[in-house]
Structure 1
Amino acid sequence: MRRLDAGLDEIAPRLKASATMAQLQALIAVTEAQNTTLAARALELAQPTVHRAITQLEHAAGRPLFERSSFGLLPTRPCRDLAQAARLAFSEFQQAEADLAELDGREQGRITIGALPLSRSVVLPEALARFREARPMARVTVLDGPYDEMLASLRRGSIDIILGALRDPLPIADVVQEPLFTDHLAVIARPGHPLSDRRDIPLKVLSAYPWCLPRSGTPAHAQVAALFAAEGLALPESIVESGSILLMREFLRRGDGLGCISARQAEAEVRNRLLQRLDTRTRWPGRRIGLTVRDGWVPTRAQADLLGEIRHAAAGIDRP
């Protein structure tokens, strides 16, 4: 309520007494869609209902909350701040409802995890299996996607936790990171690759082959680029970017390309002899893998249990 009151007070103190949840839900939807018709569709309401809610808010505030333009309804800066405060407040209300339901012995609410590539094959599957044994009725959603999209969803309150490679420096001040273990990259190829039997392969030799690398903007891609730059080499011209071990495996098995991915992420492929780890001269620096949550976020009991399982699953892996 403090967060919500601050956003309302910035626009007009009277809104703290008059604004309704329906009006704030309309405000959030229009801020995101910048169009009342699309906002109404997202809320499954009639367009006049959403338009009326926004008009009532603006009338009570005594000021416009959106700038009308040919591109749509552009939220003012105080409007964007209020929408963000309302998103997080509603998320906290849902957290409270989930904890209250637990007092009655009911599972309510949903835990949403943003899973970056490594975590989808390491740590998270074990943690989810153990969590499911303890809480068979708890609803868990695992989302994947680029880090920037995950971070935006975390800050909006639509994702509870991000699990994966941590960022250095911290991308923004309203999130916190918890390191769990350190990961290292590896160069992989298909069995029978021309470099399969070589040892201590220098980077210059590796650079002559096509590569499959993690996406630009990821810590892994930055590590690869930094290593090439340190040896005065340009990145290979032939690059496919993907964080998917499945795509990387199938791409590498069809030619002489090389892949660079987490050694742990590739463990199953190497163990089953679908791929092979090359013996390179490169000594990869560690990448910190861990949790990212909103600053000040207090988990529900169910969320705390899942966090405990994630930490337990990571405990057997070398720590930073």
Structure 2
Amino acid sequence: MPTKLDWYLQVNLKARQLQLLVALDDFGNLKKVAEVSHVTLPAVSKALTELEKGLGLELFTRTAQGMLPTVYGECLIRYARGMLTDLQQVRDELKALESGSSGKVNIGVYPLSSPALVPRALVLLKQRSRSTNVRVIEGTTRALLPQLLEGKLDLVIGRLPALQSPTGFEAKELLEEDLLVVAGPQHPLAKREHVDWPELTGYTWVLPPLFSQMREPLERVLLQHGMPLENDYLETPSISLAKAYLYLTDAVAVMAGTAAHDSLQPLAILPVSLPRLLPPLGVQWNRNRPLSRSARLMVECLEEAAAMLR
């Protein structure tokens, strides 16, 4: 037999109450929530009281530090954020369909991912569905995966985790890439048929940032070859900046093959052997959220772009 809690969640819970919960969690203060919501303080207090009474649960405790969610509040807030994101996506997709668009796909990309894969996939996507709109943001694993979990992103593209994908995520491998030691075309070693590691001593290294997937294994390899990186290096997540710097100096760097072989800004490949340091490029999505038609099309385009690059 349905309980009071069942009845309230299934029949009486409203979107504005979900918004109230999220706002209280964000601001921790009834007065602040009233100000940003443009309603009176008594109205906000009454809405919270009615919600707690309807559920039969205490959702927040009042402390000197502000409103703190109880275990019941934390549970409901977590799902409230997801439901509000879903409602926003439904609204966006309905508006897109109404305006003649085929929908929208939100993509997260890691900074050091292949600069060739995503642009090629986007070209294929627009060739097949010109009215599909795309939003691409760049960020770290720590920044993008929570958004994927919350439904703010449909897909995240980049190096797959070295271990099994975190709980809740589905992953598809797209492209294995070898890493290459590269330099600008004017580099003294650029046309050599053979380069020994000691010959790279004395050149500035352009490195990926700390805590990126490539940095620790790359440093380990360089140390094995007697090249500690203590005094003379530059670190950046930007491939375009790294390339520009290599063109202007005699610095050296390590890049994936697709970045090094870019026809618009080719680099010199130095004949130095590197082990495979990174997992393959791939795409991840939230297995608990069905992919939209636009997102499924984007995955297909990524697979085709990867096949072209292979």
In the superposition, the TM-score normalised over structure 2's length comes to 0.81
- Tell me if 1:288 matches 2:256: no
Deviation by residue 1:58-79 (Cα, 9 ceiling, x = unmatched): 3434444345556554444443
For 1:253, the aligned partner's letter is Y
1:164 corresponds to which of 158, 167, 177: 158
Indicate conservation of the 8 Å contact 1:212/1:240, yes or no. yes
**Distance in 1 between the 2:64 and 2:228 partners?**
45
For 2:203, the aligned partner's letter is Y
Which stretch has the larger CA shift, 124-133 or 200-209?
A: 200-209
For 2:269, the aligned partner's letter is R
Residue matched to 2:172: 178
Number of aligned positions between the proteins = 306
2:294 corresponds to which of 295, 302, 320: 302
For 1:190, the aligned partner's letter is G
Question: Secondary structure in 1 aligned to 2:190?
Answer: coil
- Tell me if 1:153 matches 2:147: yes
**Distance in 2 between the 1:40 and 1:287 partners?**
48
For 1:163, the aligned partner's letter is I
Residue matched to 1:144: 138
**Distance in 1 between the 2:223 and 2:56 partners?**
57
Deviation by residue 1:263-293 (Cα, 9 ceiling, x = unmatched): 212322xx34563222213233453101110
**Distance in 2 between the 1:138 and 1:250 partners?**
33
Tell me, which stretches of 5 or more residues in structure 2 are unaligned? none
Kindly state the Cα deviation for residue 146 of structure 1 after the two structures are TM-superposed.
1.4
**Distance in 1 between the 2:92 and 2:166 partners?**
28
Residue matched to 2:52: 58
For 1:222, the aligned partner's letter is E
Cα distance change on mapping 1:19 and 1:205 into 2, 3 Å: farther
For 1:305, the aligned partner's letter is L
Query: Over alpha carbons, which structure has the higher Rg?
Result: 2
Cα distance change on mapping 1:54 and 1:204 into 2, 3 Å: farther
Q: Kindly, what percent of the aligned residue pairs are identical?
A: 25
For 1:20, the aligned partner's letter is K
Deviation by residue 1:230-269 (Cα, 9 ceiling, x = unmatched): 556544443332221121123333433222222212322x
Cα distance change on mapping 1:287 and 1:62 into 2, 3 Å: same
Cα distance change on mapping 1:220 and 1:26 into 2, 3 Å: same
1:228 corresponds to which of 222, 240, 261: 222
Question: Secondary structure in 1 aligned to 2:203?
Answer: coil
Indicate conservation of the 8 Å contact 1:95/1:109, yes or no. no
Residue matched to 1:81: 75
For 2:249, the aligned partner's letter is G
Cα distance change on mapping 1:279 and 1:308 into 2, 3 Å: same
**Distance in 2 between the 1:279 and 1:40 partners?**
65
Question: Secondary structure in 1 aligned to 2:173?
Answer: strand
Residue matched to 1:4: none
For 2:134, the aligned partner's letter is V
Residue matched to 2:12: 18
**Distance in 2 between the 1:223 and 1:75 partners?**
42
**Distance in 1 between the 2:290 and 2:28 partners?**
31
Indicate conservation of the 8 Å contact 1:184/1:287, yes or no. no
Cα distance change on mapping 1:36 and 1:241 into 2, 3 Å: farther
Cα distance change on mapping 1:159 and 1:249 into 2, 3 Å: same
Kindly state the Cα deviation for residue 310 of structure 1 after the two structures are TM-superposed.
1.6
Residue matched to 1:243: 237
